[in-house]
Amino acid sequence: MIVASFANVLVWAIWVLAAFACLGSGIAVISFTNPFYASLSLIGNLASLAVMYLLLSAEFVAAAQVLVYAGAVMVMFLFVTAYLGNRADAPWAGAPSWQTLGAVAACSALFVEVIVVVGLKTSGRLSHQGKIDSSFGRPHEIGRLFLTDHLLAFEITSIVLLIAAVGGVILGSHSRDTPTKGVQQ
Amino acid sequence: MIPAAWICLLSPLAATLLITLGWNRLSRRGAGYLATLSVAVSFVAAIVAFAALLGDSPNERYHPSTLWSWLTAGQLDFGLRIVVDPLSVFMMLVVSGVGMLIVLYSIGYMDGDDEERRYFAYMALFVFSMLLLVQAGNLLILLVGWGLVGLSSYLLIGFWHDRPSAVAAAKKAFVINAIGDATFALALFLLIQRTGSLNFEVVFTQSIHGSWAINLIALGLLGGAVAKSAQLPLHTWLPDAMEGPTPVSALIHAATMVTAGVYLIVRTGSLFEQAPKVLELAAGLGAITIVMAGLIALVQVDIKRVIAYSTMSQIGYMFLAAGLGAYPNAMFHLMTHAFFKALLFMAAGLVIHALAGEQDMRKMGGLNRLLPFTYVCFAIGALSLAGIPPFAGFFSKDSILAAALDGGWYGELLWVAGMVGTFLTGLYAFRMLFIVFWGEPSGFVREHLMPGSHAHAREGPLSMTSTVGTLAVLTVIGGFLQFANVWTPLTTWLDPVARPLVEASGTQEAVSSILAVALGAAGIGIAWWIYGSRKAAAPRIAWAQNLLEHKFYFDEAYDFAFYRPAVFLATGLSRWIERPLVFGSVRELVQGVGLLGRDTSRLQTGLVRTYVLLIAASIAVLTVVFVAVR
Amino acid sequence: MKGPDVVWYLCVAGFLFSTGALGVLIRRSPLIVLLSLEIMLNGANLALIAFSRHFAQGDGQIFALTVMAVAASEVVVGLGLIVAIARQKLDLDVDKLSTLRG
């Protein structure tokens, strides 16, 4: 009982930490002017998310998150940031334009709506958590699902990745013509 | 008989179509010969129909023939219908006979004109239209012929279309005729409403209920007749119509089209008799026109205009007769007038042709020795016009005047007007003759008279002289068709169709004739005194001269009363209604669409952030909507 | 082990999503916009995993993995575009890249 309640408290504590880290790093990403700092904040965001996935018994996804996102995607981001240099733009500087106000309003509205829908509309249905067995979230379970129920998604995803790779190469290659002076409209 | 009637009608139409389709493949002369031939065929066919009709007993002389049902609407049914009866055959003979002579004359007169083919096509069209009018078996086909005749008149008056005066004259003629056509059509509508048909048998045998209805019908018909026959008040187009070639003036504006009004009144006599006040109005208008036109003719200097006003005046006589109910007299005068008026026009045409197109009488003079044949024919015509025996005009005009005496106090009043008219006729006719033909040849004549070895060549080609001669002969003998109460074949012939309401007695005839001849001779004498022997100068009364030269200011009055308000209204409507409302609305629409497009394109800022913001905002709103709806 | 209810996770996911959206709308540098986009995707992923756990079905995790793969490919293309724009010496400012203006 006490062990159970201690485990519960532990889970809750980890959850609170991870959640705050997640939220904090999210705000940090959109607030930093330096893109390098913003990228690093995103890495922190991804890590905290991985922790939360673990709390939700999705071990494979947590691992994939760290490997793919933090390991590959963010590395790409950092490469490009290094290539571009320190081009900064100050998002909160100056008087708030109607664009900023509109954005804040829209996003707060979205957040409030999510809370409202989750809280009011789904109250009855979200009370019973399902029972999971030991293979939930394991790699072989994921693999089985991918190759049986969701084979189409699996194949299409591979095509998408291929296209992205080809596109990346083309976009990054040197063009044959001399680069024209940038046309500013 | 029926096939003959159809051939008579359709032959000139065939000529028109052939000339139009053949055009350049036909030589100019060829078109002329074709047109003349077609009218000659019509004339022969008319004679055949006449002969066949003679074979019938008088009560059976009525043969309608329908080609097909032309217009059906509910219970109304109007067919392409012609009728062969004494009145229509009489008119057919006059129209095709005189028409044939005039078209033949045109071959010589219009020789050398570039557009001869168009001329002969129009002339054939006109003859067809006039025959359609007189042969019509119901009032609708009559109206069709009526309209077509107006159209041909417009086309022929404006034949020389590079002359602005000719174009204006054609328009004027057409517009005034259109007024008559409108009243005619309105009368027909009323008639259909009352009787349900327009066939002659139905319409002329029924009595129309309601005095206002029959009066309106008669008034409408009279309006059409007045416009077509150039009587007061719709007379202003006839003098201007002299802009057309002389044969046109002879055929359309002397012999045939302008007499259509008289024909109409005689044909629809039974309707008019139910509206006696309108008949009296017709006679009155005729009488006023006789005097007025005669006065105006006294001051005209254009040879054709004198003859035009003379026509107006003589048709006044016919209206007078028809208005009093003396139908055979009116038709008799119609026939003799066709002869001598066409003769006068064509003789004047010989003069004009010889002087290379000059029409001003003041430049002429002394042509009696230079153009003797023309002089003789012209003199015959003028004597007939003035009513001197034994020429045709005497018989017909006097029959009208005598019949007027039988028409009560109103008839006697009109008789006085007719007598005044006779005096004026003698005066202006011989004024014209003396000015043009007597005296010494003027300078103009000496310069411009066509050179020729002898007079005959100057007078014009055979086509012109032979036809004029034929008409002169007809003018001499034509009068003997009817004489007083003694010898009345025409009255007997027309009796089944048009029974006269008034008949002059022997004494009335004698008195009237003697007085008329005396007055005519007096007019001739005064003309000789002033213009012939130049013993006295013409009296100059300034205000009278002005009044007559301005044709009693009718043109100015119509311009003020009708033309100016119409133009004012039209410009007002154009400026205040059409431009802002119609134009403006279209323009506003265009501008509005443009503005809408421009403003909508402002949404495309090209800024990604704006687009995304809009998407986010829309999602926020839509979520609320979906959640609330659930 | 009882932990927070799925509702809590959903709130976090919602907050992440809104924050990411705010970042996309506010920032002018395309690079940062891409980063914010990643945050949004992660928020969606969290919601998917949470529901997968709640309903004890692995489908949510499959979906999340697919989202991750697509996000990765999208980042590749996006970064390639940014590099190309930078190579053309254009300003890396979303507001200035408005040639498609109507």
ipTM score for this prediction: 0.90
Residues of chain C neighbouring A19 (CB-CB closer than 8 A): 8, 12
Query: Residue A185: what pLDDT?
Result: 42
CA atoms lying within 13 Å on the CB side of residue B77: 6
Is B223 contained in some domain? no
User: Do B532 and B613 share a structural domain?
Assistant: no
User: Residue A109 and residue B620: Cβ atoms within 8 Å?
Assistant: yes
d(CA B545, CA B540) in angstroms, rounded, equals 7
How close is the nearest chain C Cα to the Cα of B629, in Å? 22
User: Do B516 and B571 share a structural domain?
Assistant: no
Q: Could you tell me the residue range of the domain that residue B591 belongs to? A: 558-629
Query: Residue B456: what pLDDT?
Result: 55
- Most confident option among A167-176, B63-72, B264-273, C43-52: C43-52
Closest by CA position to B304, among listed B353, B231, B270: B353
How close is the nearest chain A Cα to the Cα of B599, in Å? 20
Residues of chain B neighbouring C99 (CB-CB closer than 8 A): 606
**φ and ψ of B78, to 5 deg:** -115, 125
* Mutation site, B607, B610, B611, interface C, largest C CB count within 10 A: B607
Please give the residue of chain C at the shortest CA–CA distance from A27.
C19
pLDDT in tens, B434-484: 888 887 777 777 777 755 545 555 667 887 888 888 888 888 888 887 776
User: Do B344 and B325 share a structural domain?
Assistant: yes
Query: Residue B362: what pLDDT?
Result: 83
Please give the residue of chain A at the shortest CA–CA distance from B610.
A99
The pLDDT of B174-185, averaged and rounded, is 93
What are the residue ranges of helices labelled H in A58-150?
A: 59-64, 74-84, 98-116, 139-148
User: Residue A77 and residue C26: Cβ atoms within 8 Å?
Assistant: no
User: Do B525 and B388 share a structural domain?
Assistant: yes
CA B100 to chain centre: 18
ω into residue B233 within 30 of 0, thus cis? yes
Partner residue opposite C68 with nearest CB, options A8, A69, A168:
A69
Domains of chain A, start order:
1-88 (1.20.120.1200), 135-167 (no CATH)
User: Do B565 and B531 share a structural domain?
Assistant: no
3-state secondary structure of B301: coil
Partner residue opposite A23 with nearest CB, options C12, C45, C99:
C12
How much of chain C exceeds pLDDT 70, in percent?
97
The pLDDT of B39-65, averaged and rounded, is 89
d(CA B464, CA B457) in angstroms, rounded, equals 11
Residues of chain B neighbouring A115 (CB-CB closer than 8 A): none
Phi-psi group of B534: left, alpha or beta (phi > 0 → left; psi -120 to 50 → alpha; rest → beta): left
Of the pLDDT bands very low, low, confident and very high (cuts 50, 70, 90), residue B610 is confident
3-state secondary structure of B72: strand
- Per the CB < 8 A criterion, the answer to whether B63 and B44 are in contact is no
Question: Does the pLDDT at position B183 exceed 50?
Answer: yes
Partner residue opposite B617 with nearest CB, options A106, A113, A121:
A106
Token reading at B59 = 């009560």
pTM (global) more than 0.80: no
Is B167 contained in some domain? no
Is B141 contained in some domain? no
B601 touching C, CB under 8 A? yes
Q: What is the mean pLDDT of chain B?
A: 87
User: Do B577 and B439 share a structural domain?
Assistant: no
pLDDT in tens, B119-175: 999 999 999 999 999 999 989 999 999 999 999 999 999 999 899 999 999 999 999
d(CA B133, CA B91) in angstroms, rounded, equals 10
Token reading at B283 = 């006679």
**φ and ψ of B302, to 5 deg:** -90, 130
Query: Which residues face B483 on adjacent strands?
Result: B487
User: Do B338 and B476 share a structural domain?
Assistant: yes
d(CA C34, CA C29) in angstroms, rounded, equals 9
Question: Does the pLDDT at position A131 exceed 80?
Answer: no
Give B41 or A118, the one with higher predicted confidence. B41
Is B413 contained in some domain? yes
User: Do B564 and B450 share a structural domain?
Assistant: no
Query: Residue B454: what pLDDT?
Result: 53
d(CA B239, CA B309) in angstroms, rounded, equals 7
User: Do B459 and B341 share a structural domain?
Assistant: yes
Question: Does the pLDDT at position B390 exceed 80?
Answer: yes
User: Do B408 and B373 share a structural domain?
Assistant: yes
Please give the residue of chain B at the shortest CA–CA distance from C29.
B609
Least confident of A90-99, B251-260, B331-340: A90-99
User: Residue A106 and residue B620: Cβ atoms within 8 Å?
Assistant: yes
Please give the residue of chain A at the shortest CA–CA distance from C2.
A8
User: Residue C14 and residue A115: Cβ atoms within 8 Å?
Assistant: yes
Number of domains into which chain B is organized: 2
Among B549, B570, B596, the domain-final residue is B549
Q: How many CB atoms lie within 10 A of CB B553?
A: 12
pLDDT by 10s per residue, chain C, length 102: 577 888 889 999 999 999 999 999 988 888 999 999 999 999 999 999 999 998 888 899 999 999 999 999 999 999 999 988 888 877 788 877 777 776
The vertex-B24 CA angle with B19 and B26, nearest 5°, equals 55
User: Residue C94 and residue B609: Cβ atoms within 8 Å?
Assistant: yes
A-contacting residues of C 52-91, CB under 8 Å?
52-59, 61-62, 64-66, 68-77, 79-84, 86-91
User: Residue A84 and residue C28: Cβ atoms within 8 Å?
Assistant: no
Closest by CA position to B89, among listed B490, B503, B482, B502: B490
Range C97-101, long-range pairs (CB < 8 A, 24+ positions): C97/B606, C97/B608, C97/C30, C98/A185, C98/B605, C98/B606, C98/B607, C99/A183, C99/A185, C99/B606, C100/B604, C100/B606, C101/A185, C101/B604, C101/B605, C101/B606, C101/B607
User: Residue C12 and residue A164: Cβ atoms within 8 Å?
Assistant: no
How close is the nearest chain A Cα to the Cα of B607, in Å? 11
The pLDDT of B393-419, averaged and rounded, is 87
Domains of chain C, start order:
9-87 (1.10.287.3510)
Among B549, B573, B596, the domain-final residue is B549
- Per the CB < 8 A criterion, the answer to whether C85 and A174 are in contact is no
How close is the nearest chain A Cα to the Cα of B619, in Å? 8
Among B549, B568, B601, the domain-final residue is B549
User: Do B577 and B441 share a structural domain?
Assistant: no
Is B315 contained in some domain? yes
Q: Which residues contact B501 (CB under 8 A, 6 or more apart)?
A: B273, B324, B325, B326
Is B613 contained in some domain? yes
pLDDT in tens, B492-532: 888 878 778 877 777 778 888 888 888 888 888 888 888 87
User: Do B345 and B421 share a structural domain?
Assistant: yes
Residues of chain C neighbouring A73 (CB-CB closer than 8 A): 38, 71-72, 75
User: Residue C102 and residue B604: Cβ atoms within 8 Å?
Assistant: yes
d(CA B498, CA B88) in angstroms, rounded, equals 11
